[in-house]
Amino acid sequence: MSEIQYFTKEGLEKIKHELHFLKTEERTRITQAIAEARDKGDLSENAEYDAAKEAQGHLEDKIRQMETLIANARVIDSSQLDTSKVSILCKVKVMNHNVGKEAVYQLVSETEANLKENKISVKSAIGAGLLGKTKGEVVEISVPAGKVKLEILDITL
């Protein structure tokens, strides 16, 4: 059995949309590529056919993985979250004492993590270091570049 993954409602919908795209449009595209390659003759020496069949295998693996992910997904009800301490889905405003700058991170599942949107995984070094901490706490977290000292300024949803 796979590990339960927690998602925002929007994050789970995004994955369901991508799965639908893979099952409908990508499957059709690869099936057409296989048919076109098959029409070109001898399959034993047909690199296009081999490549299309390999792409089909990768696509089917990805579809199975996403179906398993969705089957084990749990949507978090933000109205039930306690903002007195850092938990998944919380937005955490921190002061990075190493560089003297503030940042806001939202803690999400590994699948939803996207640094461009300031969404960090609860399993990342910083995410794991912030979990369970409260407003006003200063934490020192080991990251690949060394240690970072973060002060929790605010916790919101």
Give pLDDT tens digits for 96-146: 999 999 999 999 888 889 989 999 999 999 999 999 999 999 999 998 889
Please classify residue 89 by burial: count the beta carbons closer than 10 Å to its beta carbon, then call 0-12 exposed, 13-18 middle and 19+ buried. Answer: buried
Query: Which class in CATH covers the domain with range 5-75?
Result: mainly alpha
Length of the chain: 157
CA distance 34 to 42: 13
The alpha-helical segments, DSSP class H, found in the chain are: 9-21, 27-38, 47-71, 125-130
- AA letter at 6: Y
In the three-class reduction of DSSP (H, G, I as helix; E, B as strand; rest coil), residue 157 is classed as coil
- AA letter at 94: V
Specify the domain boundaries for CATH 1.10.287.180 within the chain.
5-75
- What are the pLDDT digits (tens) for 16-65? 999 999 999 999 999 998 888 888 776 667 788 888 889 999 999 999 99
DSSP state of 85: B
Specify the domain boundaries for CATH 3.10.50.30 within the chain.
78-156
CATH 3.10.50.30 fits 78-156, yes or no: yes
Q: What is the pLDDT of residue 17?
A: 96
